[in-house]
Structure 1
């Protein structure tokens, strides 16, 4: 893979075009979160159906990451991101026109395909564009910070936007999708004029997944940390609004969007606040905030209070965001430069499995066990898993630095 030499001004503008497009598509991924209770009330399905519809996106993303996520290393970044945005527009139109469960599942699978095309490619593209615009800043953490904030900041804005539109604009199960489809279409135009950074004529080594010497342990540890960080995000994305409505009696669509917004916004905010901090220190801080937030969230179920639930979501989200940023940074360090997108694609497959599988298990268990004790078990499992993953990552990092 050869990175092209490009004019600084165009790459500087393109950097922000790609960052905003990345955020907008991720916002679409969580857009239905405050709408799930509306679908439930209309079609009389339970948390299991909600989780299945949510997990359909995870399945689509996993397939897309696995089969397409590496292609930008060979064919170019823009040539993969532009189709990803186009698929996102199609998904939004499908969900607006076909608001029944089969249509939601089809739309969510397409959403996952779009995310799979976007996430690893955009992360690599931002690194390329920033390097081309600022060659004197080799090794800067700005691209990774921007990527992480665009990813999780977008996930935060989706539920807030949908909740506001559902609360105050007619046609809540249609309007949100159409609004974001228009936004993504505009961003597609901007991405189309962003310079390409990869020369497709260069002969790559043909490997989708290549690590630096000694990078295997570092990558494996980072991927497991990403799994547990996204498990928390998956819970608030798929079932956060359902819990607020069913357990705390919240009926406002806007307020229903606040739980996932609090988690993802705190995640992005923590990354901005602690951006310069070294990845291993971020993991330590995140591993403390993560279980603390889960404990507060569980407390809110035993002593119902909206403010307590939102506080717990924010604290846990901040911890998860720091863990995610550290894991992405470690993954990029472990990757061979010519396979950066391919390695990130595998990382995101594992992270998105974390977003889907624990939430599906949670929705199965609450059919037979009360929500509060299930949440205690869920929080305990995530806490222990995160502690083990972070401990392994820190030990691996110490060995790698010797």
Structure 2
């Protein structure tokens, strides 16, 4: 009896340990965000190259999700997640050895590979490790670890870059230590794929949607695309806007503003749990539109408080839509296809990070940063409004 009672807390905490490892991996993907200004001063590259460096990460994520998004359904969750942490460590080493744009690109590429391996697999793993009756908490833990980790990255690097020595070194050393701790946690957790096979048995293939998922997938993926597009442009462009236009040069403040968007996303996800997926998806689109309008106002008026408010409102909308999308898709996906289906959802979402970011970078040259941002916002408002109307007419089916 005592042995059984001892196992219950361990089992209950297992999904939280997996969520912690998830957050560590995702923090590494946004770690360089407040540091791009320093890299620009040191290497002398344009704002377009900043957005390209950022988008390299998203393309790597998409490539992994397309090719290997379902691999963990065959070989198990832990081997894939440990490989993801290996790529996260390689990314940190590339930035530590930084000697020019090639290593920056390599670091972002490795970071994208790590996120691609983690995104669908870790989401499924966290939910599978949850004990009976805690599925809702696990869904929140998975999406909060994703967004919370993305927010902690710029906050940590911004504070270290501003108040500690060696701003382009210490953040990545700290992240390497966290990666090692996360690997130790994963090694202590159980495998959830009962029929896991050796890695040699894996046959990577493009994620396929089971028939029972397709009715949920379209509205969920449209909402996820809009939310990730907002975050992609905000994290890629806001540091330059803060330093060049608003004359904010404190790296900790820049990291805190970016972090606030992801913190608001986590709050939005928490609210989505009480609303339910059917209401959270269209409501998330409406809140996203409000955040986009506020972001446009901050660019036109060159006002800091509007930028912060846009981060909070837009982040909340992104969290509502993401939690609703992941919950709706995961609930109807068969267990043997769950990771692959979630990976397909994130393929669409990460497309929202890559293409709009490069578009803003291209337009920055002829139009300037502010006008390029406003053009992006106009396009995204139209897309998000279309998604919201679609979701009102054809809401996601109840799980």
Aligned: 1:167 with 2:165:
no
Where does the alignment leave 5 or more consecutive residues of structure 2 unmatched? 1-6
Residue equivalent to 1:178: 173
Name which of 373, 382, 385 aligns with 1:384: 382
> CA offset at residue 270 of structure 1?
2.0
> CA offset at residue 286 of structure 1?
1.6
Change (3 A) 1:196 1:9: farther
Alignment of 1:3-402 (within 5 A): 8-130=8-130, 134-135=131-132, 137=133, 140-200=135-195, 209-397=207-395, 400=397
> CA offset at residue 264 of structure 1?
0.9
> CA offset at residue 304 of structure 1?
2.4
Question: Matches of 2:176 and 2:323 in 1, distance apart?
Answer: 28
Change (3 A) 1:205 1:113: closer
Question: Matches of 1:395 and 1:336 in 2, distance apart?
Answer: 26
8 Å contact from structure 1 (residues 59, 112) kept in 2? yes
> CA offset at residue 214 of structure 1?
4.1
> CA offset at residue 211 of structure 1?
4.2
8 Å contact from structure 1 (residues 54, 238) kept in 2? yes
Give the TM-score normalised by the residue count of structure 1: 0.91
Change (3 A) 1:260 1:289: same
Question: Matches of 1:303 and 1:260 in 2, distance apart?
Answer: 19
Residue equivalent to 2:3: none
SS, match of residue 360 in structure 1: helix
Change (3 A) 1:191 1:199: same
**Aligned-CA RMSD value:** 2.2
8 Å contact from structure 2 (residues 74, 202) kept in 1? no
Question: Matches of 1:393 and 1:334 in 2, distance apart?
Answer: 18
> CA offset at residue 392 of structure 1?
2.5
Change (3 A) 1:292 1:371: same
8 Å contact from structure 2 (residues 286, 385) kept in 1? no
Change (3 A) 1:201 1:301: closer
Residue equivalent to 1:3: none
Deviation per CA, 1:48-93: give whole Å up to 9, x if none: 1111111111111111111222111111111111111121111111
> CA offset at residue 359 of structure 1?
0.7
8 Å contact from structure 2 (residues 25, 179) kept in 1? yes
8 Å contact from structure 1 (residues 144, 329) kept in 2? yes
Residue correspondences, number: 390
Question: Matches of 1:57 and 1:15 in 2, distance apart?
Answer: 27
> CA offset at residue 202 of structure 1?
7.8
8 Å contact from structure 1 (residues 258, 310) kept in 2? no
Question: Matches of 2:266 and 2:120 in 1, distance apart?
Answer: 18
Question: Matches of 2:189 and 2:264 in 1, distance apart?
Answer: 30
> CA offset at residue 221 of structure 1?
2.2
Question: Matches of 1:18 and 1:201 in 2, distance apart?
Answer: 18
Change (3 A) 1:376 1:212: same
Deviation per CA, 1:118-161: give whole Å up to 9, x if none: 1100110011101xxx23x27x3222111111111111111111
Question: Matches of 2:312 and 2:64 in 1, distance apart?
Answer: 30
> CA offset at residue 401 of structure 1?
5.6
Question: Matches of 2:376 and 2:343 in 1, distance apart?
Answer: 27
SS, match of residue 11 in structure 1: helix
8 Å contact from structure 1 (residues 70, 341) kept in 2? yes
SS, match of residue 109 in structure 1: helix
Change (3 A) 1:344 1:201: closer
